[in-house]
Every structure is written in structure tokens, then in C-alpha cells.
């Protein structure tokens, strides 16, 4: 078990390195550099060239890459051209916001998806199953931002149960209960909009997996032992059906990232997604690099996490 986790961790490093190289090369391929457009056009081109030399912009790409990675490892993503502040400081608060948004969205997703999938799979081809399938089709076909806007309009604007934007009400002291409650309240709507869409695939995966598993021989063995239907489902079928859901988990995290980009924009939630769009629009490439790198790393870690979960659930996967 531990051996498996260590081995899996070791594989993660080359993935991360490859990711960083790719992102760096993409950034290099983009036209312009830190000085383009920032410098007064009346300045002598030779002086600019001098500056380039001083800043190390004329070095070959691999030397620049090593400079960059060396900084990243120490938590230094460079300066934001637009905000004139370290990228790390810029990201710091937003990454916390996005992290909690993603975690809440994930929790909502599974709270909704697992029971629906179980009902759908156990009572397949009944009216109950069909109505759940109907919901998943609608969810599958509807773009995320429509759901988000509808939720925003109904619960934020019409009923005013939830705030329509931001991550916390202004004027609250961090650390107090009100502050935490306010944060949670700000999280619920955006997280729910992501979850409602994310749920869809999980429900369908779980359903088809349960329909599959319940026809397997070991289910008959369990029944022949005298296990009640609920025990058969909870002990034998469910666990075997959760395997693909666990395998899907890493992909789910990648989906979350794209989800947060939309949702943060709609709910003007100060997170990574919003920062990403802003910095792309403003050509703030050191920020774009950092955000893309972190998104990529999150996807890789998500895959790692799902493999570890999978190995805990399924003994056949553990490498001895």
C-alpha cells in the first residue's frame, strides 16, 4: 500500500517538470516580452537592448527556464506587470478562495450525485430512474453559466437569501464566527452552480456501474448467504460501483478548474479563475504563467489523489 503511494508520488515529479516546461515554452512562444509596450517609444532602442541584457531576457530559453523554475520552487513567480506587485502575493488570497470554492463544490457534487446514482441504478428503468436521467440530460446540455445565472437570479436577486457577489461581506474581522459564516454564505451559490453540473456525469457513471454490478455473480452469492437487499446494495454493490467514480475524481478536479473560471466571473468571486481571465485580457503573462502552472499542478495532484483513493478501495490495484 505505502509502496504503491510512494511509487505513484515518484511518477508525479516528471509530470510536474514536463508541465512547467510546456507552460514556459508556450509563454516564450507568445510575442513580446516584459518590456514590450511598457517602455516609452522615445527611448533609444540601444538602452532598451541594454535593459534586456540586464534583465536576462536575451539569454537562451533553457537558462531563462532555469531562472524561472528556480524562482517558482522558492515561491517566487516574479512581478505582475500590471499590478506592480509580486505574483505570489496576488495569488495568495485568491488561491485560498478558489480552494474552498472547489472543496465545497466537490462536497455538494457527491452529496447530490451519490444518492441519485444509487437510486437510479437500483431502480433502473423505473419512473424514478427516468426522472433522474431527465435531470442529468438537462444538466448535460445546459451550459454552466446558465445554471449559475438562474441560481443567482432566483436565490441572490429575487429571494435575496444569498449575496450576489464577492467572497465575504465587507467590514468583518477575520477569525470571528461572523466572518466564517459570511464566507460560507458567499460560497454556497457558486459552489452549488458548479455542483449541479458536475453531478450529472457522476450520477450517470454510478448508475450504469450499479446496473452492471448488480448482475454479477458475487451479488447472487451474497443473496444466497441470506443478506437482505439493503445489505447487498450497501456492502457489495455500492463499493464495487464506486471504483470508476474514484477513478473519475482526478478528471473531476480538472473540470472544477474550468468550472470556477466561469462561476467566479459570474459571481464576481475573487478567485484564481477571475484572476486568470483578468490577466489574460491584460496580457499580464507572469500571472498567466503562474495560474496555468497551478491549475496544471492541481490536475496532476487530482489524478494522484484519485489513484491513491482507488488503491485504497480496490486491493487489485495495489502493487506489491
CA distance 248 to 266: 27
Closest approach of another protein to the CB of residue 264, in Å: 39
Comparing CB distances to another protein, the nearer of 227 and 304 is 227
Comparing CB distances to another protein, the nearer of 92 and 229 is 229
Non-local (6+) Cβ contacts of 316 within 8 A are none
Non-local (6+) Cβ contacts of 25 within 8 A are 61
Closest approach of another protein to the CB of residue 122, in Å: 12
Closest approach of another protein to the CB of residue 238, in Å: 10
Comparing CB distances to another protein, the nearer of 246 and 287 is 246
Q: Which helix (H) or strand (E) holds 17?
A: helix 2-29
Judge residue 176's burial from the number of C-beta atoms within 10 Å of its C-beta, 0-12 exposed, 13-18 middle, 19 or more buried. Answer: exposed
Closest approach of another protein to the CB of residue 199, in Å: 25
Q: Residues in the site for another protein, rule: CB under 8 A? A: 216-218, 220-229, 231, 235-236, 239-240, 313-316
Q: What's phi and psi for 310, nearest 5 deg?
A: -55, -40
CA distance 276 to 269: 12
Comparing CB distances to another protein, the nearer of 172 and 227 is 227
Comparing CB distances to another protein, the nearer of 19 and 317 is 317
Closest approach of another protein to the CB of residue 243, in Å: 8
Closest approach of another protein to the CB of residue 221, in Å: 5
DSSP-derived secondary structure letter, 166 = -
Taking the CA atoms of the chain, what radius of gyration do you get in angstroms?
Answer: 24
Assess contact for 287 and 300: CB atoms under 8 A. Answer: no
Non-local (6+) Cβ contacts of 246 within 8 A are 306, 309, 310, 313
Comparing CB distances to another protein, the nearer of 47 and 228 is 228
Assess contact for 11 and 303: CB atoms under 8 A. Answer: no
Comparing CB distances to another protein, the nearer of 301 and 312 is 312
Distance of CA 247 to the CA centre of its chain: 15
Closest approach of another protein to the CB of residue 128, in Å: 17
Amino acid at each position: 500500500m505505502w509502496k504503491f503511494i510512494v511509487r505513484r508520488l515518484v511518477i508525479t515529479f516528471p509530470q510536474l517538470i514536463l508541465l512547467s516546461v510546456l507552460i514556459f515554452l508556450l509563454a516564450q512562444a507568445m510575442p513580446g516580452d516584459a518590456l514590450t509596450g511598457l517602455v516609452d517609444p522615445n527611448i533609444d532602442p540601444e538602452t532598451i537592448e541594454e535593459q534586456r541584457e540586464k534583465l536576462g531576457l536575451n539569454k537562451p530559453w533553457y537558462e531563462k527556464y532555469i531562472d524561472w523554475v528556480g524562482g517558482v520552487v522558492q515561491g517566487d513567480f516574479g512581478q505582475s506587470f500590471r499590478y506592480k506587485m509580486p505574483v505570489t502575493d496576488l495569488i495568495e488570497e485568491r488561491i485560498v478562495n478558489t480552494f474552498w470554492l472547489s472543496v465545497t463544490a466537490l462536497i455538494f457534487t457527491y452529496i447530490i450525485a451519490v444518492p441519485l446514482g444509487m437510486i437510479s441504478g437500483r431502480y433502473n428503468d423505473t419512473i424514478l430512474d427516468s426522472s433522474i436521467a431527465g435531470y442529468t440530460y438537462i444538466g448535460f446540455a445546459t451550459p454552466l453559466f446558465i445554471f449559475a445565472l438562474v441560481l443567482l437570479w432566483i436565490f441572490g436577486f429575487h429571494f435575496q437569501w444569498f449575496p450576489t457577489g464577492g467572497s465575504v461581506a465587507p467590514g468583518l474581522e477575520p477569525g470571528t464566527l461572523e466572518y466564517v459564516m459570511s464566507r460560507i454564505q458567499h460560497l454556497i451559490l457558486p459552489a452549488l452552480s458548479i455542483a449541479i453540473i458536475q453531478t450529472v456525469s457522476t450520477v450517470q457513471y454510478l448508475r450504469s456501474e450499479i446496473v452492471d454490478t448488480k448482475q454479477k455473480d458475487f451479488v447472487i452469492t451474497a443473496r444466497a448467504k441470506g443478506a437482505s437487499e439493503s445489505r447487498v446494495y450497501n456492502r457489495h454493490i455500492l463499493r464495487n460501483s464506486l471504483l470508476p467514480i474514484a477513478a473519475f475524481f482526478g478528471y473531476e478536479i480538472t473540470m472544477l478548474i474550468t468550472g470556477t473560471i466561469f462561476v467566479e466571473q459570474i459571481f464576481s468571486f475573487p478567485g484564481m479563475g477571475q484572476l486568470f481571465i483578468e490577466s489574460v485580457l491584460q496580457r499580464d503573462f507572469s500571472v498567466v504563467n503562474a495560474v496555468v502552472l497551478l491549475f496544471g499542478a492541481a490536475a496532476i495532484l487530482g489524478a494522484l489523489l484519485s489513484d491513491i483513493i482507488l488503491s485504497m478501495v480496490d486491493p487489485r490495484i495495489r502493487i506489491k
